[in-house]
């Protein structure tokens, strides 16, 4: 099922391989579509939804936004993760959870601002 011009529900499906957990927040899709359009580059969701069992398996916290369908870890073709994090912080200064990691950027649509 297509969620936006460049994203489908399948891309957000849990990586456990045992469930069909694919809930996704519409604001998250909007933010990722914004990143796609800003950089005119493919955005790969390396971790989207996580069922509670898979979240535990990968060491996620119990209150993970991934379990709520409100988070994605992404890689943008040709763009460093810190650049994506900086753009998101500039574009959404009052909201989102944004994590800058060596190989990916975490973004979530929590109700308050968080940075790491």
Residue-level pLDDT at 110: 95
Q: What is the pLDDT of residue 52?
A: 96
pLDDT over threshold 90, residue 76: yes
Q: What's the pLDDT at 20?
A: 87
Q: Cβ(57)–Cβ(18) under 8 Å?
A: no
CATH node for 9-115: 3.30.1380.10
Mean pLDDT in residue range 86-109: 97
Collapse the DSSP code of 74 into the 3-class scheme (helix H, G, I; strand E, B; otherwise coil) and give the result. strand
**3 state DSSP class of 90:** helix
Handedness of CA 51, 111, 33, 99 (dihedral sign): negative
Q: What values do phi and psi take at 79, rounded to 5? A: -120, 135
- pLDDT for 1 equals 82
Q: State the DSSP code for 11.
A: G
């Amino acid at each position: 099922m297509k969620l936006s011009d460049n994203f489908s529900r399948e891309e957000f499906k849990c990586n456990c391989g045992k469930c069909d957990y694919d809930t996704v927040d519409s604001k998250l899709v909007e933010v990722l579509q914004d990143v796609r359009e800003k950089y005119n580059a493919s955005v790969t969701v390396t971790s989207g939804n996580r069922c509670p069992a898979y979240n535990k398996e990968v060491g996620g916290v119990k209150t993970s936004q991934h379990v709520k369908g409100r988070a994605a870890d992404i890689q943008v073709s040709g763009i460093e993760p810190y650049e994506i994090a900086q753009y998101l912080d500039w574009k959404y200064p009052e909201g989102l959870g944004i994590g800058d990691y060596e190989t990916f950027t975490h973004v979530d649509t929590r109700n308050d601002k968080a940075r790491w």
